[in-house]
Amino acid sequence: MTLILDTGILYAYYDARDLWHSQALQIIRDTSHELIIPSPVIAEVDHLLNSRRGFTAQVKFYQGMAEGYYQVSDLSRTGYGRVFELNQQYADLRLGFVDAAVITIAEELGIGRIATTDRRHFGVVKAKIPLILLPELHTTP
C-alpha cells in the first residue's frame, strides 16, 4: 500500500528523541508500504536534521533516497496553481507551501494516505480526495 510521507514523520524517523519516533519507525519500516516523499518535503527534513541532529542524520536520510528506499514525487506544472489556491482558500491556517504541496501531490497521485504529525493543517483541509492520516489519533504521543 502506498503512503505519502510528510516532514514530521520523516524527521521523527531519524531522531530517536522525537516524541513521534516509535510511530515513525513503525510506519516507515512496514515494508508493505511504498513510501513517497513529496519533493518539497526534502528541504524541510534536511534543514531540521541539520539544525537538530547534525550531519550524520542528514547523510542517513540522503542514503535512504539514494538507495531507492523512498520514491520522490514532484509537483506537476499545474500543481503550483493548486498550491496557490489552497493557500488562498485556507489563508487563516497559514498552510504554507510544503503542506499545500503535500496535499496537491496526494491529489495528483490519487493517494490519500499521508503519514504526518500535523493534524492542524491536514486534519482541516478539504482535499479533492479523502485524506487518511497516519498514525491514527489514538496512537499520538
**Domains in the chain with CATH codes:** 2-139 (3.40.50.1010)
pLDDT at 33: 75
Residues β-bridged to residue 35: 3
Query: Rg (Cα) of the chain, in Å, rounded?
Result: 14
d(CA 92, CA 88) in angstroms, rounded, equals 9
What does pLDDT average to over the chain? 94
Q: Kindly report, residue by residue over 68-115, the tens digit of the pLDDT.
A: 999 999 999 999 999 999 999 999 999 999 999 999 999 999 999 999
pLDDT at 138: 53
Instruction: List the one residue out of 1, 11, 2 whose CA is nearest residue 116.
Output: 11
